[in-house]
Structure formats: structure tokens, C-alpha cells
């Protein structure tokens, strides 16, 4: 009997052919829309999930393994799915390079005043009334030192920055960081950092990690960068801090509600840079994802341990 694989996104023909080439024992379907996906899920054993619906795994009695398109997996972690024996793997590491570069783009834009210079350009104003700074000697604070945090630390050090971080397991190797501490030291990191980059998973413990109290611990000259999950930040508290200039600015790629509502105050704040949840986008990301899935498929068919297995209880 063949292993049925369902791709829940508008997969290219070459993606399907590459998966089929992995073994004569696999059959592949694709379904971007919910209704078609639920129908095809009836005999699916494996799902490569671009789109995901809670009803999908319930409609798939043979489902054994789900590969997430993304690194964050909070959308999967309903009580029933967590309690199920279905293995969940994520795309950890696939997007680390483009996201780290996206953070540095935010950082450099604020450091050199590009967020103001671009507004001058749009207004046809030949004006240079900003006070640009340099990165050398500044402190990059990284919350979450996984693949993205590590790639970011590497780039920050190259720019002459001091790199500090907090992570759940502070004792793990962190070759590009000058000081790594446990999550209880978040206040220390916020007070020390000129740029605070959120690279942590969204879990019950990290929801609204950055709220009113945390924002008041940051320097008034510091910038908050969020490329992880919008739920890490209390947006109402952030808007207040930005409007009152209690922090210097924010670079935001993710939001509590996406797309960001038209009436969000964040759109019009002059000290905010907004990108539409695209930090992981790259010409190379899709190839890396398919490389990971095909390697995991080989392992699955051979009965070997899969890469990037998520601890569904912990949420990452």
C-alpha cells in the first residue's frame, strides 16, 4: 500500500514530482482550499502543511506525521492535536538566514535614519536633520537563541556589536553571544540593549512577554524588533510606549492580528517600520523547505528519527 501525502498549498508541479521521485511507494495530492483538503485527507498519512485547519487532522484517521511549512507551530497546538499520537515537525532553520538579515535591515535603517529619510524623499524634501549613529559598540539583545537568534548574533558581532541573549536553556553553546542568561534575566537584557530582537517561540509562557512593564525597562533610545510572532507583544502597550517616546522605535514584521487592521495606530507612527510578515521570504527558502521535507520523508519511509520534531507540550 502506498503512503499518501497531502500538500495543503498551491504546490508547483516540480514539488510534486520531486516528492514522487523519493519512492515508488508514495502518492501525492495537493489542495489549497479547505473543502478539497478535507476530502483528500481521508486516506492521507502525511501532510506538508502550508494551510492548516483543525478539522483536517480529525478528517484523517490514517494521519501519522505533519510537517509544518513554518517554524512557529502555535496554530497546530489545540488540545486534541497535542494529545494525539501524530508527529509534528517544523521548519526550524529554514528561514534563519533571511530573517536574521531582515532584522539587520531594520537595525541599520533606524541607525542611519532611513525611516526618516524615506519620508523626506516621498515628500520631495532635501533635508538631513537627523542624528545618525553607528552600530559599533552598541548592544544587541536577543530573546530566544535558536537558529534565527544565532544567525542574528553572528551578523551583529560582525558589525562590532556586543551581543547578549536570554534563552530557556542558558547553558547551551552560543558561540556568537557575549553573555547568555536564562529567561529570569529578561529585565537585565531589556535594560542593557540598544536593540531588542524577539526571536522566541509563541507559547503560553511567552504570550505578551513584552508588555507595559517590559517596555518601561527598555532604554528611551532603544528599538524593539519583532520578527517572531505578534502575540509576544502587547500591541496596545507598545503603541503607548511609541507615542510617548518611551522607546525610540519599533521594526515589526508580525502582529497580533494579521493582516494589520487599517485602523491600527502603528501604520502612522513615524518611529515604526512595518513589513507584512515577509521576513522569512527568500528565493532560497522554498528550496530549503523541500530539501528538509524530502529528507524527512526518506527517514519516515526508512523508519528513522525525523528532523525538527516538535515537543507538542512545550510548543516548539
- The CATH number that applies at residue 191 is 3.40.50.720
> For 1-95, where are the alpha helices, taking DSSP H only?
13-20, 34-40, 54-58, 79-83
Same domain membership, residue 84 and residue 135: no
d(CA 42, CA 60): 5
Same domain membership, residue 127 and residue 15: no
* Domain of 59, in residue numbers: 3-94+283-302
Same domain membership, residue 129 and residue 252: yes
Q: Is residue 40 part of a domain?
A: yes
Same domain membership, residue 206 and residue 168: yes
Same domain membership, residue 291 and residue 157: no
How confident is the prediction along the chain (316 residues), in pLDDT tens digits per residue? 689 999 999 999 999 999 999 899 999 999 989 999 999 999 999 999 999 999 999 999 999 999 999 999 999 999 999 999 999 999 999 999 999 999 999 999 999 999 999 999 999 999 988 888 999 999 999 999 999 999 999 999 999 999 999 999 998 889 999 999 999 999 999 999 999 999 999 999 999 999 999 999 999 999 999 999 999 999 999 999 999 999 999 999 999 999 999 999 999 999 999 999 999 999 999 999 999 999 999 999 999 999 999 999 999 9
d(CA 149, CA 292): 20
Q: Is residue 316 part of a domain?
A: no
Q: Is residue 314 part of a domain?
A: no
Same domain membership, residue 77 and residue 39: yes
d(CA 6, CA 59): 13
| Active-site pick, 258, 284, 287, 298 | 258
Q: Is residue 155 part of a domain?
A: yes
pLDDT score for 203 = 93
Known catalytic membership, residue 229: yes
| Active-site pick, 45, 229, 235, 256 | 229
Same domain membership, residue 55 and residue 185: no
Same domain membership, residue 104 and residue 81: no
Q: Is residue 315 part of a domain?
A: no
With contact defined as beta carbons under 8 Å apart, do 239 and 265 qualify?
yes
- Whole-prediction pTM: 0.93
Known catalytic membership, residue 258: yes
pLDDT score for 155 = 98
pLDDT score for 130 = 85
Same domain membership, residue 260 and residue 203: yes
> How far, CA to CA in Å, does 29 sit from each of 11, 82, 287?
9, 25, 19
Q: Is residue 308 part of a domain?
A: no
- Which residues, 6 or more positions from 173, have their beta carbon under 8 angstroms from its beta carbon? none
pLDDT score for 131 = 87
Same domain membership, residue 131 and residue 15: no
Q: Is residue 313 part of a domain?
A: no
Same domain membership, residue 69 and residue 24: yes
Q: Cell numbers at residue 18, please?
A: 520531486
- Which residues, 6 or more positions from 233, have their beta carbon under 8 angstroms from its beta carbon? 198, 208, 209, 210, 211, 224, 226, 256
pLDDT score for 110 = 98
Number of domains, the chain = 2
Helices 96-112 and 147-158, interaxial angle, to 10°? 40
The secondary structure of 275-303 as a DSSP string is --S-TT--TTHHHHHHHHHHHHHHHHHHT
Q: Cell numbers at residue 287, please?
A: 528550496
Amino acid at each position: 500500500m502506498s503512503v499518501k501525502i497531502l500538500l495543503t498549498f498551491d504546490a508547483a508541479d516540480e514539488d510534486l514530482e520531486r516528492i514522487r521521485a523519493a519512492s515508488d511507494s508514495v502518492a501525492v495530492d495537493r489542495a489549497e482550499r479547505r473543502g478539497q483538503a478535507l476530502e483528500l485527507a481521508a486516506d492521507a498519512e502525511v501532510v506538508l502543511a502550508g494551510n492548516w485547519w483543525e478539522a483536517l487532522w480529525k478528517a484523517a484517521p490514517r494521519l501519522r506525521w505533519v510537517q509544518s511549512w513554518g517554524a512557529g507551530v502555535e496554530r497546530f497546538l489545540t488540545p486534541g492535536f497535542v494529545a494525539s499520537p501524530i508527529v509534528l515537525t517544523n521548519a526550524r532553520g529554514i528561514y534563519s538566514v533571511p530573517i536574521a538579515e531582515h532584522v539587520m535591515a531594520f537595525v541599520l535603517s533606524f541607525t542611519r535614519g532611513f525611516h526618516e529619510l524615506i519620508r523626506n524623499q516621498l515628500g520631495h524634501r532635501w533635508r538631513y536633520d537627523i542624528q545618525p549613529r553607528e552600530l559599533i559598540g552598541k548592544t544587541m539583545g536577543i530573546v530566544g537563541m535558536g537558529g534565527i537568534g544565532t544567525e542574528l548574533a553572528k551578523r551583529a558581532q560582525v558589525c562590532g556589536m556586543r551581543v547578549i541573549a536570554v534563552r530557556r536553556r542558558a547553558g547551551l553553546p552560543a558561540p556568537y553571544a557575549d553573555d547568555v542568561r536564562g529567561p529570569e534575566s529578561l529585565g537585565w537584557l531589556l535594560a542593557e540593549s540598544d536593540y531588542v530582537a524577539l526571536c522566541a517561540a509563541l507559547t503560553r509562557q511567552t504570550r505578551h512577554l513584552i508588555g507595559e512593564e517590559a517596555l518601561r525597562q527598555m532604554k528611551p533610545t532603544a528599538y524593539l524588533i519583532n520578527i517572531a510572532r505578534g502575540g509576544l507583544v502587547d500591541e496596545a502597550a507598545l503603541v503607548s510606549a511609541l507615542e510617548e517616546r518611551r522607546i525610540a522605535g519599533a521594526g515589526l514584521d508580525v502582529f497580533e492580528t494579521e493582516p494589520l487592521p487599517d485602523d491600527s495606530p502603528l501604520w502612522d507612527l513615524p518611529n515604526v517600520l512595518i513589513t507584512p510578515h515577509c521576513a522569512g521570504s527568500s528565493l532560497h527558502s522554498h528550496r530549503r523547505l523541500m530539501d528538509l521535507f524530502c529528507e524527512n520523508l526518506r527517514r519516515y519511509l526508512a523508519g528513522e528519527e525525523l528532523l525538527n520534531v516538535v515537543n507538542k507540550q512545550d510548543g516548539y
